[in-house]
Chain A
Amino acid sequence: MSAMKKYKDLVEELRSYEGLASMFAEAAAGIDAAGDSEAIEAARVAHLGRKSKLSQLLRSIPELPNEEKPVVGKYGNKARAALEQALADRKKEIEGVQLEHRLATEQVDITLPGEPFPRGHLHIINQTLWEIEDIFAGLGYRIAEGPEVESDYYNFTALNTPEGHPARSSHDTFFVDGKEDVLLRTHTSPVQIRLMEKEEPPIYAIMPGRVYRRDSDATHTPMFHQIEGLAIDEHITMADLKGTLETFMRAIFGADRVIRLRPHFFPFTEPSVEMDVSCMICGGAGCRSCKNSGWLEILGAGMVDPNVFGFVDYDPDLVQGFAFGMGVERIAMLKHGMTDLRMFYDNDLRFIKQF
């Protein structure tokens, strides 16, 4: 509201002294007319400054006749106070307009990208490993690790795969030059033996790590990752193995997955099974990924063979347990849809940064 309007009643009052009303009206109009900070300052100097009419009037009070003194004092000061207030109000008003104007002109293109803060990506293999580790940590498993340059004894013999065993020929082993019985481990199973040698049951552990096989194409890389699990206790059963695997599969591939066990052969477990999970891509109806069977082969497992217990001095009549093992790349591929294993190890950032 303009000062003229706001102080209409005051102006009427001021008419009680000759000239004061018009003086006020002039000042109020000047304040109202001020359009920016400089004009406000000019109005303050003109109407409230030392040389302003009002200041001069107030300064002249001592020289006025006695009867006029109180009137001029009272109304003059009232007018001064009102003008100061009007000036402050007007100033605020102008600043508000100026701010609005500034904000209105400061509009940015909100669709431009934000300031890039660096964020690195964990390799998808490691992300998958962590996920699996966390699931089993929740089931009460520890994480055990072991050497990659391994002896024949731990990689084969103690796993009930003696020299000449037909299962050896399928492993495509890398051997270390100059040392007859040293090799790059072909699976993480030797860690099971090392763990059992070192500790007494109960043992609940998973064993992740790099393993090596002498093979290279779209579905084989000479180095890849496995994760194995081992549970040894007094009453561990095949039913516990089945339940553990089902829980794991549902945790990693979704709550509506079902599993099935098929008999298989591994030297270090008996009975041995392969585990299939219902295809998460087609839901079991059959698709390319599951070769129209509705099932995806995921891992091998079984009850630890008594001969293996023999190598680590456990009594198979007192303890029993299960073991399982899987390829981490396979889990990642099924989950994320890659088809060429070699991509995992090209370390092309365009690949790594996807995950």
Chain B
Amino acid sequence: MKVPISWLKEYVAIDMSAAELADRLALTGTEVERVLHVGLPVDDGNLDRFVVGRVKKKGAHPNADKLTLCEVEVGDGKVEQIVCGAKNFKEGDRTAVCLPGGTLPDGRKLEAAVIRGVESRGMMCSESELGLSSESAGIMILPEDAPVGTRLVDYIPFSDEVLELEITPNRPDCLSVYGIAREVAAITGAALAPEPTQDVEPRGGDSIEELITITVDDGELCPRYGARLIAGVRVAPSPTWLKARIVAAGMRPVNNVVDITNYVMWTLGEPMHAFDLAKIAGPSLNARRAGKGEKITTIDGTERKLDQNMLVIADATKPTAIAGIMGGAGSEVSDETTDILLEAANFNGPNVMKTEMALGLRSESSTRFEKGLDAEVVPKALAMASRMMVELCSGRLVPGEYDIYAEPRSEQAIHLREEKVTSLLGIVVPGAEIEAILSRLDFESHREGDSLHVTVPSFRADVEREVDLIEEIVRVFGYELIPPTLPSDVRVMGGLSPYQSAERKIALALTAAGINEAITYTFIAPDFADRLRLADDDSRRQVVKLANPLSIDQSVIRTLMLPSLLMSVATNLSMRNPDVNIFELGRTYHTVAGEKLADERRTVAGCLCGSLRGESWMHAGRETDYFTGKGIVEAVFSSVKGSFSVERCDEPFLHPGKSAYVVIDGKRAGYMGEVHPLVLEAFDIDKPVVAFEILEDALIASSAGIVIFEDLLTFPASFQDIAVVVDEQTAAEEIIRVVREAGAPLLRGARVFDTYTGDQVGEGKKSIALGLEFRSPERTLTDEDVDGARAAILAALGERLGATLRG
């Protein structure tokens, strides 16, 4: 909302700079985007160089047919010789003169010059040169009563500061200059002038009811409809002052009729519409819902399809305006228009918004109506617009008016407890101060004991409850007066939950291992499932789809973390980042039959590509493989004291021989392994990638919990190494399991430290070397103890796995 200061000052007597006013507005709830300057620059006396001049003599230029040579009175008896390119004036005309040294709104500076051999000391200005229109046929001709020699800005507001305000949706009353004036009066204490809504006398023996029939079919969508007729108007360009105002407010001057409706809208906040009476069939108007399949061509020349949820203003045959949004081209005012039907109405805000969204059409009018306007302003707007049309368009107000208002507004009153003001704000606002603030905001109040009975003005529909009044009080009273305190009575404990702490431990374990955290978009391209080679019946193809994505590449929500991370790997490789080791703590989203919302699974996932350690002058980096991934997964589990086992894995996006399911308590909770070469190809990755993805819930639940102390210090352990030869297919995990079972209770540790296949053990066999640790919490073990346990282990290995002790 642009508010020119000169316009504002018509209604409120402020004596502060635009910058000071902007600060005050910002701190009381009206956001000021910026303060603009429009029109003539004000610096170094520039405004003194623009005056009202009078053409004393208009003659031919001696050296150029297209130019005129004039003598122009510029005040104080001074006459300047000016060469002019235009011819649309005569001697005696008054015009705007720029004297040498003057700077135009576009920054051009004018100096005295010799034009085709004749000196010219000044310029007679056109409207476009003064920034009042985009083009103009000649110089500007001012009214005959314009006082010669006065500064132009004192005659017409050509130089103004404009506040560009951002009005919150709860304050549509501030979408008007008068509304802002009222707000400014309340927050500064300055005097407020009455609303500029004085009416004009009707003339003539006819009446509006004889000339047009107006009805409202849908009173819910159109609570109030007011209309007047102005007959015999002369459609013409607006007077300069009005154009200047329209331009300063950021609109475009059109003609006097349209400019007046816009001017009234800007002043009072009530959008108006002017119909050409001659183009209304019937003539009759009805506010009704659009019929199925009805269409209208709006004044922007676009044909729009309407539906039954939309309110239209229809004449006898067709819709002639989309109510509150835009008029139809068919009844638009033109230069030939003589009789004008002036509409001021009140439309249902939410319905206007729905229609706007359905049509994708917003206007200055609809952005106001959508917020719900004050119906009481309808007659005021009609009065103001009628008077201006009579004064500026030579029109006649036809006697009578329509004002269809089925359910007039009832008075709103609120009970305000002073004690609630104190308890909500944490500061005592004195009663007299509360009353004074409310009164400045146009709320009437009277005291009833410790409370106030407050009557809400019609333009403040946003104030409905006690708490709304408290907001009004505190914003004018000043937030700076509220002391900063902390809640004094906290009886609960804060901090991270065990789950949240565990998540942090996981992240820290991964960074400690050298992996960087990524945060990827949760929405991806729908072809991710194909790129991951998911089977047609894979449940992970059941994605949450967006109805209105920004692009196809961000149109479905992932069911696996892998595609997001692979894309990040590809991006990094294309940026020539050599080693890409990334993880993400994120979610995957799964549709659930019969459920409205998705099943969101917290997941930790990672991709390892290149080397974890990076190359250095000391050693070459080691390329990542399955075991790097497994080591990382082990570190993750270790960070939360969890544990897992593995199962061979048949995920279509992984290497079948170098991948595993991560199994917790017999249930699959994720995977790890080398990514399938075809998947890498599909993601444009030309280096091996190891990936893992584990459900956090299961991972954290696998934690052993509180660690109970075990005495590892009092009695020393005994260590033994064994190497056994087994079938090549025998899994290391199985060997360890047999060893642990057979070695219990003295065996406390068994780990693989070497594996070997080859000639020494023969075809189809492998050797596995294990380090065994024996320990008792009660005594130092003897050689016999250890030998016995070792023998039992070897026996079990032989019996259950056919293992033989290697040489």
B431 beta carbon closer than 8 Å to chain A:
no
A123 touches B519 (CB 8 A): yes
Interface centre among B425, B547, B589 (most CB of A within 10 A): B547
A117–B518 alpha-carbon span in the complex (Å) = 20
B545 touches A176 (CB 8 A): yes
Chain B residues, Cβ within 8 Å of A164 = 349-351, 353-354
A137–B497 alpha-carbon span in the complex (Å) = 11
The chain B residue sitting closest to A239, CB to CB, is: B426
Stretch among B142-150, B195-203, B310-318, B609-617 lining the A interface: B609-617
The chain B residue sitting closest to A179, CB to CB, is: B596
- Within 8 Å by CB of B424, from A170, A210, A234, A320, lies A320
A89 beta carbon closer than 8 Å to chain B:
no
Chain A residues, Cβ within 8 Å of B549 = 174
- Within 8 Å by CB of A238, from B28, B424, B510, B582, lies B424
B486 touches A247 (CB 8 A): yes
The SS class assigned to the A binding surface is mixed
Chain B residues, Cβ within 8 Å of A181 = 596
Chain B residues, Cβ within 8 Å of A18 = none
A347 touches B587 (CB 8 A): no
B572 touches A151 (CB 8 A): no
A223–B468 alpha-carbon span in the complex (Å) = 33
Chain B residues, Cβ within 8 Å of A149 = 544, 557, 589, 597-598, 600
A120 touches B600 (CB 8 A): no
B427 touches A239 (CB 8 A): yes
A119–B509 alpha-carbon span in the complex (Å) = 10
A271-B471, A271-B474 given; A166·B27 CB < 8 A: no
A222 beta carbon closer than 8 Å to chain B:
yes
B28 touches A263 (CB 8 A): yes
A176-B544, A204-B494, A264-B29 given; A223·B474 CB < 8 A: no
Produce 1/0 per residue, B600-643, CB < 8 A to A: 10000000000011101110000000000000000000000000
Chain B residues, Cβ within 8 Å of A353 = 516
A137–B475 alpha-carbon span in the complex (Å) = 31
B402 beta carbon closer than 8 Å to chain A:
no
Chain A residues, Cβ within 8 Å of B546 = 174-177, 184
A147–B511 alpha-carbon span in the complex (Å) = 27
A203–B494 alpha-carbon span in the complex (Å) = 10
A349 touches B486 (CB 8 A): no
A262 touches B426 (CB 8 A): no
Chain A residues, Cβ within 8 Å of B370 = 166, 169
A113 touches B479 (CB 8 A): no
Give the distance to chain B from A33, nearest Cβ to Cβ, in Å: 44
A234–B168 alpha-carbon span in the complex (Å) = 30
- Within 8 Å by CB of A182, from B31, B353, B582, B596, lies B596
B597 touches A150 (CB 8 A): yes
Produce 1/0 per residue, B339-376, CB < 8 A to A: 00000000001110110010000000000001110000
Give the distance to chain B from A235, nearest Cβ to Cβ, in Å: 6
A303 beta carbon closer than 8 Å to chain B:
yes
A331–B82 alpha-carbon span in the complex (Å) = 60
A238 touches B519 (CB 8 A): no
A17–B171 alpha-carbon span in the complex (Å) = 126
Chain A residues, Cβ within 8 Å of B517 = 120-123, 126, 352
A139 touches B600 (CB 8 A): no
B486 touches A243 (CB 8 A): yes
A260 beta carbon closer than 8 Å to chain B:
yes
A139 touches B351 (CB 8 A): no
A42 beta carbon closer than 8 Å to chain B:
no
Give the distance to chain B from A355, nearest Cβ to Cβ, in Å: 10
A262-B26, A306-B467 given; A166·B371 CB < 8 A: yes
A32 beta carbon closer than 8 Å to chain B:
no
A130–B500 alpha-carbon span in the complex (Å) = 11
Chain A residues, Cβ within 8 Å of B612 = 118
The chain B residue sitting closest to A209, CB to CB, is: B587
A352–B583 alpha-carbon span in the complex (Å) = 12
Chain B residues, Cβ within 8 Å of A147 = 597-598, 600
Produce 1/0 per residue, A212-233, CB < 8 A to B: 0010100000110000000101
Stretch among B89-97, B520-528, B652-660 lining the A interface: B520-528
Give the distance to chain B from A147, nearest Cβ to Cβ, in Å: 5
The chain A residue sitting closest to B548, CB to CB, is: A175
Give the distance to chain A from B223, nearest Cβ to Cβ, in Å: 15
- Within 8 Å by CB of B29, from A178, A222, A263, A345, lies A263
B740 beta carbon closer than 8 Å to chain A:
no
A207 beta carbon closer than 8 Å to chain B:
no
B486 touches A244 (CB 8 A): yes
B593 beta carbon closer than 8 Å to chain A:
no
Chain A residues, Cβ within 8 Å of B550 = 214, 216, 222
The chain B residue sitting closest to A244, CB to CB, is: B486
Chain B residues, Cβ within 8 Å of A345 = 519-521
Chain A residues, Cβ within 8 Å of B575 = 348-350
A46 beta carbon closer than 8 Å to chain B:
no
The chain A residue sitting closest to B514, CB to CB, is: A118
Chain B residues, Cβ within 8 Å of A35 = none
Give the distance to chain A from B111, nearest Cβ to Cβ, in Å: 33
B802 beta carbon closer than 8 Å to chain A:
no
A118-B513, A175-B546, A204-B490 given; A303·B523 CB < 8 A: no
B426 touches A119 (CB 8 A): no
User: 8 Å CB contacts to A: which residues of B531-563?
Assistant: 544-550, 554, 557
B568 beta carbon closer than 8 Å to chain A:
yes
A261 touches B350 (CB 8 A): no
User: 8 Å CB contacts to A: which residues of B47-105?
Assistant: none
B29 touches A116 (CB 8 A): no
A346 touches B479 (CB 8 A): no
A139-B494, A169-B357, A262-B26 given; A178·B582 CB < 8 A: no
A306–B484 alpha-carbon span in the complex (Å) = 23
A166 touches B353 (CB 8 A): yes
- Within 8 Å by CB of B484, from A123, A242, A265, A348, lies A242
Chain A residues, Cβ within 8 Å of B479 = 242, 260-263, 273
User: 8 Å CB contacts to B: which residues of A148-173?
Assistant: 148-151, 163-167, 169-170
Produce 1/0 per residue, B470-505, CB < 8 A to A: 110011000110111111111111111100100010
A347 touches B519 (CB 8 A): yes
The chain B residue sitting closest to A210, CB to CB, is: B522
B277 beta carbon closer than 8 Å to chain A:
no
User: 8 Å CB contacts to A: which residues of B406-456?
Assistant: 423-427
A348–B426 alpha-carbon span in the complex (Å) = 48
Produce 1/0 per residue, A120-155, CB < 8 A to B: 111101100010010011111111000111110000
Give the distance to chain B from A197, nearest Cβ to Cβ, in Å: 15
The chain A residue sitting closest to B578, CB to CB, is: A349
A202 touches B492 (CB 8 A): yes
Produce 1/0 per residue, B7-32, CB < 8 A to A: 00000000000000000001111010
A93 beta carbon closer than 8 Å to chain B:
no
A167 touches B169 (CB 8 A): yes
A123-B517, A261-B479 given; A140·B617 CB < 8 A: no
A292–B568 alpha-carbon span in the complex (Å) = 38
The chain A residue sitting closest to B606, CB to CB, is: A120
Give the distance to chain A from B115, nearest Cβ to Cβ, in Å: 43
A39 beta carbon closer than 8 Å to chain B:
no
Give the distance to chain A from B280, nearest Cβ to Cβ, in Å: 30
- Within 8 Å by CB of A120, from B483, B516, B568, B587, lies B516
A236–B424 alpha-carbon span in the complex (Å) = 7
Chain B residues, Cβ within 8 Å of A126 = 507, 517, 519, 585
- Within 8 Å by CB of B497, from A119, A142, A167, lies A142
User: 8 Å CB contacts to B: which residues of A88-115?
Assistant: 112-113, 115
Top 3 closest A-B pairs, CB basis? A118-B514, A164-B350, A239-B426
In addition to A140-B490, A222-B554, 14 A-B residue pairs with Cβ atoms within 8 Å of each other are A118-B581, A120-B583, A125-B519, A126-B585, A138-B494, A166-B353, A223-B523, A233-B489, A240-B488, A243-B485, A265-B171, A270-B470, A349-B516, A349-B582
> Can you list 11 pairs linking A and B with CB atoms under 8 Å apart?
A117-B613, A123-B518, A139-B494, A149-B597, A150-B597, A166-B169, A214-B548, A222-B554, A223-B522, A303-B424, A353-B516
